[in-house]
Structure 1
Amino acid sequence: MAPVGVQGIFHEDKETGLAEVCGEEGVPYTMSTASTCPIEDVAKASGDGKRWYQLYWPKDDDITLSLLNRAKTNGFSVLVITLDTWSLAWRPADLDNAYVPFIKGIGCEVGFSDPVFRARFEKESGTQIEDDIVGASRAWLGQVFAGAPHTWQDLAFVRKHWDGPIVLKGIQHVEDAKMALEYGCDGIVVSNHGAIGSLDVLPEIVDAVGDKMTVLFDSGIRTGVDVIKALCLGAKAVMVGRPVIYGLGINGRDGARQVLKGLLADIWQSMGLSGIRTVSDCSRGMIRKVQHAGDVKAMM
């Protein structure tokens, strides 16, 4: 399950409900820093399920360390660092509707429940978070969407304080994939937040680093066949986001469960129809890129 923020806006079952379903279905759940539930609640709901933690990397090292310690203490085994959202993008639809849930504290629960952030805000503002939600929200957003990225060298701090796998999410370029390997990361997620199509760059990234680190894929997965395509192009696994969230929005945890089960069934059924016996048999020889007339601009 890909990290998706602010799940409470889709259904009251929110992150805890989806984490519970993923645990029951054997699908690793990746919790977003922009969650509407604290880390501890998601961990409890996940039960014995595998859980990963996605980090929007705070500007302050003490707050970062606190989040890492909370994640480790609560059984999150893999750290997923999102690279391409150190500042929120220009979103006309949100601007047209004056829609910024974070400013009302929605999606800030990880920060609001963090002891280091709470202590700092109370010291600097002279008030409790609950008495100034807007002010606290601004302070938290200033940490996780600070408007400036971290550097490759900064990864040494995270490696020092996280003894599990570190995965960088948002890789779209071969040279960045090589840098991730050079700086000791265990895996990458080829994904985007609206940039070039991730599937277009997946093969060249796999060719460059796929035999040295784990390459995962995210962005645009809607069906089992989409999963198979990514596996055939070299991804070791994929992350799925929106379809499961659509199910969550329609019918809470039960809706999310049906989407996950349907997607898994689609994968195995489509593999069988394609003559693919196992996931390890997914290879580039099993697929073809079909060029349609409308894919290329007519030349005069």
Structure 2
Amino acid sequence: LLKRAKANGHTAFVITAGILVIGWCPHDRGIPDSPAGHGFGVSDPASVFMGCFGLEPRHKRLAFPYTQDSIQNLTVLGDPVAQQAMFLGKGWAGEIASGIFRSWDEIQFIKDNWDGQIILKGILVVEVTPSSGRSTSTQFSMFVGC
């Protein structure tokens, strides 16, 4: 990941701290829905994710309002667009919520292997950082791609 970022001209590496899973709570509204899991928002201007599947990035506006039942029904009926959306949604969800998390100690690897700026985001309170002197179980995740 670091080599690929450097080779593509990136000068900063962003780490999101404290995000253990997707920040989407589908049952909070009383309507179970998962737009990302159904392929909504699966566009990648850099084409890294879509390239994993031999596809070009998509830049079309999605239908609104999103309804989970309609895309699931189309998938069951064999609609190829809906089936591909579900397939890509599952792949994207697997990337952004892979279950692979890192500890604070592992940031040293990035420091040792990245000569650009390192940006740590997502910290809401100083008390969760190693510099606070407190023991912490905060973990962070990174999007790695294929």
Structure 2-normalised TM-score?
0.49
Q: Tell me which structure has the larger Cα radius of gyration.
A: 1
Alignment TM-score, normalising by the size of structure 1: 0.27
